[in-house]
């Protein structure tokens, strides 16, 4: 009767691992199944080069450039703040998110623009351009 404790693989389904470079008695000593001389017998030659995949690798298009792991700032314009905020309100990521001016609260926000800031608002937890900083300080 067949049950889990007496299941065995069929004959020829498993092979012993080829242990290379473990002495001549193993049958795979001295040259370790690499033959004698030549590029294939040397160390440091990639298997891909040997298998003839180098040409195929070079033909495949690669994605060029570099992508930073740090997320980019979400940009908000001064003109947008003039339209959406009133005097005395605070501009912070939560308020901007509630008014659907940014996509997420977790990534940093930067306020840019050379326009004049017409509303008197407080800025919290947001970065801003040098032009805007000079406007606020003046």
pLDDT at 127 over 70: yes
User: Could you tell me what percent of the chain has a pLDDT over 70?
Assistant: 97
- Domain 74-137 fold is Ribosomal Protein L15; Chain: K; domain 2 (3.100.10)
Q: Which two tokens stand for residue 37?
A: 């001389």
Res 50: pLDDT: 65
Res 123: pLDDT: 92
pLDDT at 115 over 70: yes
Res 102: pLDDT: 92
* pTM of this structure: 0.52
Q: Which of 76, 86, 78 is nearest to 120 (CA)?
A: 86
Summarised one tens digit per residue, pLDDT across range 56-80 is 888 889 888 998 898 899 999 999 9
Please, are residues 10 and 3 in contact by the beta-carbon 8 Å criterion?
Answer: no
| Dihedral sign, Cα of residue 100, residue 104, residue 109, residue 113 | negative
Summarised one tens digit per residue, pLDDT across range 17-55 is 889 999 999 989 999 988 999 888 888 877 766 677 778
Q: How far apart are CA 111 and CA 127, in angstroms?
A: 6
Helical segments of the chain, H only: 47-51, 54-59, 78-84, 93-98, 130-137
CA distances from 6 to 2, 9, 10, 22 (A): 7, 10, 12, 34
């Amino acid at each position: 009767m067949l049950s889990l404790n007496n299941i065995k693989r069929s004959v020829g389904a498993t092979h012993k691992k080829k242990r290379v470079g473990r002495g001549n008695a193993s049958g795979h000593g001295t040259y370790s199944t690499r033959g004698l001389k030549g590029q294939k017998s040397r160390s440091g030659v990639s298997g891909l080069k040997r298998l003839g995949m180098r040409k195929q690798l070079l033909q495949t298009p690669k994605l060029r450039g570099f992508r930073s792991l740090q997320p980019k700032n979400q940009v908000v314009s001064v003109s947008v703040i003039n339209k959406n905020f009133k005097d005395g309100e605070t501009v912070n990521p939560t308020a901007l998110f509630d008014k659907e001016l940014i996509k997420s609260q977790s990534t940093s926000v930067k306020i840019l623009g050379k326009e004049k800031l017409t509303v008197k608002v407080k800025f919290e937890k947001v970065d801003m351009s040098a032009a805007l900083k000079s406007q606020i300080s003046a």
